[in-house]
Chain A
């Protein structure tokens, strides 16, 4: 029941670097991937900046049979899964099919694919809708396509809790490993940088309308005015730690604590659920607050949400009680892809002994956070806490611990 679960492979598609190596090379020195939207002409919209994954050529990585039936985010997910498996030294065809599963998160499915088909439907007629529309846009598509490509027949699933879903998926993967499936590919890759997705995202009221890439997304800054959306994320190979050790796998770290909570209904008062999620996750990890070496913050980038997160962190850790960072200031918020990417960054931080910085933010001292800004910070990182919140009130927390 309480078997330990390790991450043994990383596959990354991030706006500041495609592939784990490029991502970490950029992240450790604070190199941002935020720029003007190039996937469509955003000049007529109030928000014009995004974090887009650079240099992704789907045809170079995937068979042409898969291209017409997949959204951009699924193509990136398939490639990230390939990389994660290769990184873990797993050849799926050599493993028993029922011993491998796929559990991903999604926030909005293949929205760009969906826009194209909606356009055909309403401008040309129902006969113009693609045969692939029945699955290419839906939330389950990445788990389905990854399981098919890699012959994985074990328990699979898909969780949707906006940005928090990225951690919920990893926890569900751990649950299934504890129930006896040796290996799960888990995480999320998300994207909805298309005009239709943009129109929908704008209604959240949380997009930054700044056109300055260096100031648009500045969480915990007194001038915070929303976030920049991004695309991408990370897929991880997760395994039973003992089994991974037995096969001589490289262990990036273990997922030792998790919890999810939901906020009280807006307007009813009461404390938001984030503090509770942190405490429950630390408790499960049998970990005291002073044992945490770094927090990867949700970093919503609006004053109200930043304050709520800072309040929770101060309550648990004390004022400036723990180093906090938000590398997503280099990528924008990747929705369900954000937290798995933060988990990857946290594991790489453990490996190098270096906390990547939060960029562009001039921290408001009133928050009382020890925010790692400007420069990376050298530190032994043995325990990391990763936080994610989703629109509507979802809070999730994961505790990671270095191996050995």
Chain B
């Protein structure tokens, strides 16, 4: 498993764990769109966070998910954790 968490990883995990809202194109330019606007509320993000933690072997802080409002922010947080655990 590569040690970099990408947008494609996030999209796959979102789809598996929470599906996608009708009318939202996850293949579009979503990096800086708020999760809320993408149709993912806190429960969907908790499920997503749990899946990321298990698959990538990291532990996210309670605030990591609430603070990361966009896919870009969440990807950066996950990669920061991955860098830490690799170090």
Q: Is the CB of B46 within 8 A of A63?
A: no
Q: Is the CB of A68 within 8 A of B54?
A: no
For A64, the chain B residues whose CB sits under 8 A away are 15, 19-20, 22
Q: Is the CB of A128 within 8 A of B54?
A: yes
B18 to chain A, nearest CB (A): 6
A66: interface (CB < 8 Å):
yes
A3: interface (CB < 8 Å):
no
A67: interface (CB < 8 Å):
yes
Interface range for A: 10 to 19
Q: Is the CB of B47 within 8 A of A65?
A: no
Q: Is the CB of A127 within 8 A of B54?
A: yes
Q: Is the CB of A127 within 8 A of B50?
A: yes
Q: Is the CB of A130 within 8 A of B47?
A: yes
A132: interface (CB < 8 Å):
yes
Q: Is the CB of A68 within 8 A of B18?
A: yes
Q: How far is the CA of A196 from the CA of B19 in the complex (A)?
A: 27
Q: Is the CB of A131 within 8 A of B47?
A: yes
For B46, the chain A residues whose CB sits under 8 A away are 131
Q: Is the CB of A131 within 8 A of B43?
A: yes
Interface residues of B in 6-39 (CB under 8 A from A): 15-22, 39
For A130, the chain B residues whose CB sits under 8 A away are 47, 50
B53: interface (CB < 8 Å):
yes
Interface range for B: 10 to 19
Q: Which residue from chain B places its CB closest to the CB of A65 in the assembled complex? A: B19
For B44, the chain A residues whose CB sits under 8 A away are 65
Q: Is the CB of A65 within 8 A of B17?
A: no
Q: Which residue from chain A places its CB closest to the CB of B40 in the assembled complex? A: A65
For B39, the chain A residues whose CB sits under 8 A away are 65
Q: How far is the CA of A54 from the CA of B74 in the complex (A)?
A: 41
Q: Which residue from chain A places its CB closest to the CB of B39 in the assembled complex? A: A65
**Consensus secondary structure, chain A interface:** loop
Q: Which residue from chain A places its CB closest to the CB of B59 in the assembled complex? A: A127
Q: How far is the CA of A131 from the CA of B50 in the complex (A)?
A: 8
A295 to chain B, nearest CB (A): 45
B45 to chain A, nearest CB (A): 9
For A128, the chain B residues whose CB sits under 8 A away are 54
Q: Is the CB of B53 within 8 A of A63?
A: no
B48 to chain A, nearest CB (A): 9
Q: Is the CB of A127 within 8 A of B19?
A: no
For B50, the chain A residues whose CB sits under 8 A away are 127, 130-131
Q: Is the CB of A132 within 8 A of B47?
A: yes
Interface residues of A in 119-142 (CB under 8 A from B): 127-128, 130-132
Q: A131-B43, A131-B46 are in contact. Are A68 and B53 (CB under 8 A)?
A: no
For A131, the chain B residues whose CB sits under 8 A away are 43, 46-47, 50
- A356-379: CB near B (< 8 Å → 1, else 0) gives 000000000000000000000000
For A63, the chain B residues whose CB sits under 8 A away are 19, 21-22
Q: Which residue from chain B places its CB closest to the CB of A135 in the assembled complex? A: B43
Q: How far is the CA of A17 from the CA of B47 in the complex (A)?
A: 35
Q: Which residue from chain A places its CB closest to the CB of B49 in the assembled complex? A: A131
For A132, the chain B residues whose CB sits under 8 A away are 43, 47
Q: A131-B43, A132-B47 are in contact. Are A66 and B19 (CB under 8 A)?
A: yes
B79 to chain A, nearest CB (A): 21
Interface residues of A (CB under 8 A from B): 63-69, 127-128, 130-132
Top 6 A-B pairs ranked by shortest CB distance? A64-B19, A131-B47, A65-B19, A131-B46, A64-B20, A67-B19
Interface residues of B (CB under 8 A from A): 15-22, 39, 43-44, 46-47, 50, 53-54
Besides the known contacts A64-B19, A127-B54, A132-B47, 18 further A-B residue pairs in the complex with CB atoms under 8 A apart:
A63-B21, A64-B20, A64-B22, A65-B19, A65-B20, A65-B39, A66-B19, A68-B17, A68-B18, A68-B19, A68-B47, A69-B18, A69-B43, A127-B50, A128-B54, A131-B43, A131-B50, A132-B43
